[in-house]
Structure 1
Amino acid sequence: MKLITSIVWLLFFSLTQVFSQARLPNKLLWEQIKNSNLVNVKNKKTLIETKKNTAFVFLSPECPLCKNYTPVLNALAKQYPEVKIIGIVPGKSYTIDEINLFAKSYDALFDIYLDKNKSLTNTLKAKVTPEVILVDQKGNIRYRGLIDNWQAKLGVKRKVITEHYLDDAIKDINISNYKFTQTIPVGCLINDL
């Protein structure tokens, strides 16, 4: 009986966490994003433009998945110019020069910022790279998780991509009666540095 009670509480707690992440007060979420302490690739503190549909993609310049997904993100940036795609490199592990080299080597068509103190990373509760969090212009988290289902699990890739999660979420970004969706991201854990 204790085991069943524990499972029920764990399930309740997990669902509460998912819904609370999806339903932060709109204004509060954009204020937290705006107040994040980010540095652009020119090593200048910058503020994220708020109140615009934005896909935050957490990246690591060393992560093979991040490198492989850059062309996909570039294609989405071209296809949906009304949605801002922003790369976020969390922590102190990488320098501005390393981030610039990554952006140049993979011809990133989207802005990439260093989140040295992980303020935005913590606000959006990102856990791995690559992980995407799509926020609409009203401050609603519309989607969280994988870019697509190419990476079945760590080290296992599909030959054919059958689900385009981020693309689908961006297509539906202006639907007023949206449903928050989430997948479990696969990638390199964001470290504590």
Structure 2
Amino acid sequence: MRCSKTIPFMFSALLLGLAACCAGSESCSPVEAAAQAEEAGSGAGPEAQVEGISSSPGAVPAPATTAAPEFAEVGSLAPPFTLTGAAGSSLSLADLRGKTVVLEWFNPECPFVVYAHEDGPLKDMAKRFGSADLVWLAINSSAPGKQGSGAEKNRSYAEKWSLDHRILLDEDGAVGRRYRAKTTPHVYVVDQRGVLVYRGALDNAPRGRVKGESYTNYLEEALGSIGSGQPIERADTRPYGCSVKYGSK
């Protein structure tokens, strides 16, 4: 009988000991640690580069709910936003329901963006895919005073690169953080249902360099699949480029 009473007591003591140990240990909060590491990664140097790779192949499921999640997730409704453009007028994502929408995170002074628009695929891609059924938007989440920020500067680059689409300013970074935009460029595709169906790298060639594989334009591949009614083979790839120049929260 003494043994049967002792075992529950020892088990309770063990649980209390573990809880006390956990309270002061970072290792007991892997989710929080991962979130902190992700936030730290967004503050890397201006040319922080990660190679674009496929991570989530396959079709995108229909959204499980009618409400957008707090943070963007492939297969769920894209988080809504309203932003003011560099030219002055505002635009809401909700107004574009029924169209395919490309979101390109943008910083005109980032070397990766400069290459993409002057010599790479973004030199003419928006024009090639632009139609009554597809809207291309650039979003600049640089905080005031940081690299690539400011309406006048963005208007100047839009003229220099002959951009016909809007550049939207997200100076407080709220939209960028909700979409977990990490780099410029970092691209997203929202389909006609308002569902996020692609996010990630523009292609697998940062500044035109491909390592150990044939060239793939992930964004063009995704848009082609939408146009033909086929599943997007690679719906979630790792972006590369300059870190988004967020301000402090």
1:78 aligned to 2:133? no
Question: Which of 68, 79, 83 in structure 2 is aligned with 1:38?
Answer: 83
By how many angstroms is 1:176 displaced? 6.2
Highest CA radius of gyration, 1 or 2?
Answer: 2
1:181 aligned to 2:235? yes
Deviates more, 1:179-188 or 1:70-79: 70-79
What is the percent sequence identity of the aligned residues? 22
Quote the residue 2:141 is aligned against. 90
- List runs of 5+ in structure 1 lacking aligned partners: 1-5
SS at match of 2:73: helix
The one-letter code matched in structure 2 to 1:138 is R
By how many angstroms is 1:74 displaced? 4.6
Q: Where does 1:45-64 land on structure 2 (aligned, <5 Å)?
A: 45-48=90-93, 49-51=95-97, 52-64=99-111
Asked if the contact 1:37/1:46 (under 8 Å) is kept, the reply is yes
By how many angstroms is 1:70 displaced? 2.0
Q: Cα distance 1:178–1:145, how it changes in 2: closer, same or farther (>3 A)?
A: closer
SS at match of 2:158: helix
Going by fraction, where is strand more abundant, 1 or 2? 1
Asked if the contact 2:111/2:242 (under 8 Å) is kept, the reply is no
Q: Where does 1:124-143 land on structure 2 (aligned, <5 Å)?
A: 124-143=179-198
Within 2, Cα distance between the matches of 1:132 and 1:191?
Answer: 16
Asked if the contact 2:137/2:165 (under 8 Å) is kept, the reply is yes
Quote the residue 2:113 is aligned against. 66
Give TM-score scaled by structure 1 length: 0.75
The one-letter code matched in structure 1 to 2:74 is A
Q: Where does 1:104-183 land on structure 2 (aligned, <5 Å)?
A: 104-151=159-206, 157-158=209-210, 162-174=215-227, 175=229, 177-178=231-232, 181-183=235-237
1:127-184, CA deviations, whole angstroms, 9 ceiling, x for partnerless residues? Answer: 1111101111112221111111221xxx782399610111010011152655561111
The one-letter code matched in structure 2 to 1:181 is A
Within 2, Cα distance between the matches of 1:42 and 1:162?
Answer: 35
Alpha-carbon RMSD across the aligned residues, in angstroms, is: 3.1
Within 2, Cα distance between the matches of 1:141 and 1:132?
Answer: 11
Within 2, Cα distance between the matches of 1:141 and 1:56?
Answer: 10
Asked if the contact 2:222/2:232 (under 8 Å) is kept, the reply is no
Within 1, Cα distance between the matches of 2:232 and 2:222?
Answer: 10
Give TM-score scaled by structure 2 length: 0.59
Asked if the contact 2:74/2:236 (under 8 Å) is kept, the reply is no
Within 2, Cα distance between the matches of 1:60 and 1:161?
Answer: 27
Within 1, Cα distance between the matches of 2:230 and 2:204?
Answer: 26
1:97-124, CA deviations, whole angstroms, 9 ceiling, x for partnerless residues? Answer: 0111111122223221111122321232
